[in-house]
Amino acid sequence: MGHRAAIVGAGHTRFGVLDAGPRALLRSAIDGAVASVDRGVERSSIREAFLATLGFGGWQIGNASAVLAEEAGIPGVPTTHIENACASGGFALRAAVRAVEAGRTDLVLVAGVEKMTDVSGARRRYWLGVSGDTEWERLAGLTFAGVYGLLASRYLADHPGADEALAEVARKNHENGALNPNAHFQKRISRDDVRGAPRVAAPLGLYDCCPVSDGASALLVAAPDVASRFTDTPVFVDGVGAASDHLAVQERPSLTSFPASRWAAEEAFRTAGWDRSQVSFLEVHDCFTIAELLALEDLGFASPGDASALTLSGATARSGRLPVNPDGGLKSKGHPIGATGVSQVYEVFLQLRGAAGPRQISGASRALTHNVGGAGATAAVSLFSAG
């Protein structure tokens, strides 16, 4: 099967409520990615670029692909804006891998950005809400918290006791985020804090929901055969899978499984030729705590209903046998929409090079990222190995 692409550089801004605008965030993440390349890189060798962002609902700036060309300092290069809601970053990485595989470019820039906190509440609910189903969900009054609240209700009804696992997902991810200097929240919380917080959409409370964040992340993706030009320790992309589905959760056979995640994972593992037991850790799309449990099951790391016990066993903690979201996840690190899928790969880049500092997972050699758009409407899964 072999390597399909190589990550040779990665950059990341702080996630959170930031003063910087979208252009400055984008520039900062890209500058960081360029500066991170061990043997250096000339921007003139970047021959393709993809931008992941929901975009101008928040920015009041459109034509985002040209904004990318400007802020990256690469006029002349073809730039493409990919907007797959919250999965934009995962699909942008996939597009970069495709570009490299097509054999027409050696070095591709992938950047993700969102500026969210300067958009007022009502406007933001519309801006984000349209990424869910409109006819059957949004116009009936459901926000994303509402939709995931329904999924959580179903899960808890089917699996009594899983409420403790939801609290543990939040506790664990905050513990990880406390060690991530880029995280929106760098604060430990207890399971009691989670259970005692105000409800947002029952059974989900404040600490079950990811925050609204500003931020950006960027990657440099090279053809495997030229990776050594840039670094002795690339992180290889070995498998990529993606799938789309209906927007409305009512169209799915079950409320507690996202077929798009299952299909994407199957494709990624099949094309990589890997077994799940080889994976050292996961970065999954925990926009709400329930989403992390569903992801563990849909990605094939737990049987239906068993993600709860797996989580409560401590297996998914940073020191466990299958760490999940060592960077804090969307829950604690934050979720600047377009940046999220790119940021997951940033964490993989650090961990697989042994550069994650106090949150380093000992012996990490293979990793999976999982990025979801809407309530399971689209999903992208990628598999990475240390060089």
Structure tokens at 88: 């934009």
Of 82 and 294, which CB lies nearer to a second copy in the complex structure?
82
Residue corresponding to tokens 């709860």: 308
> Which residue of 28, 131, 182, 343 would you call a contact of a second copy, by CB under 8 A?
131
Q: Does 292 bind a second copy (CB under 8 A)?
A: no
Of 85 and 194, which CB lies nearer to a second copy in the complex structure?
85
Cα atoms found within 13 Å of the Cα of residue 171, Cβ hemisphere only: 18
Say if CB 198 and CB 145 are below 8 A apart. no
Q: Does 69 bind a second copy (CB under 8 A)?
A: yes
Q: Does 151 bind a second copy (CB under 8 A)?
A: no
Q: Does 83 bind a second copy (CB under 8 A)?
A: yes
225-230 contacts, C-beta under 8 A, 24 or more apart: 226/106, 226/107, 227/6, 227/8, 227/387, 229/39, 230/8, 230/9, 230/37, 230/38, 230/39, 230/40, 230/41
> Which residue of 6, 26, 41, 91 would you call a contact of a second copy, by CB under 8 A?
91
Of 126 and 278, which CB lies nearer to a second copy in the complex structure?
126
Instruction: Please count the other Cβ atoms lying within 10 Å of the Cβ belonging to residue 182.
Output: 20
Q: Does 114 bind a second copy (CB under 8 A)?
A: no
Q: Which of residues 357-376 bind a second copy (CB under 8 A)?
A: 373-374
Instruction: At 369, give phi and psi (nearest 5°).
Output: -115, 145
Stretch that binds a second copy, among 89-97, 114-122, 174-182, 351-359 (CB under 8 A): 89-97
Q: Does 278 bind a second copy (CB under 8 A)?
A: no
- Least Å distance, CB 365 to a second copy, is 25
Q: How far, in Å, CA of 88 to CA of 341, rounded?
A: 7
Catalytic pick among 86, 209, 210, 287: 86
Q: Does 75 bind a second copy (CB under 8 A)?
A: yes
The answer to whether residue 174 is catalytic is no
Cα atoms found within 13 Å of the Cα of residue 42, Cβ hemisphere only: 2
Q: How far, in Å, CA of 382 to CA of 18, rounded?
A: 29
Residue corresponding to tokens 């950059």: 11
Q: Does 104 bind a second copy (CB under 8 A)?
A: yes
Task: Name the residue type at position 166.
Answer: L
Catalytic pick among 12, 174, 335, 370: 335
Positions in the binding site for a second copy (CB under 8 A)? 49, 54-57, 59-70, 74-85, 91, 94-95, 98-99, 101-104, 129-132, 134, 242-247, 259-260, 263-264, 271, 373-374, 377-378, 380
Q: Which residues are catalytic?
A: 86, 335
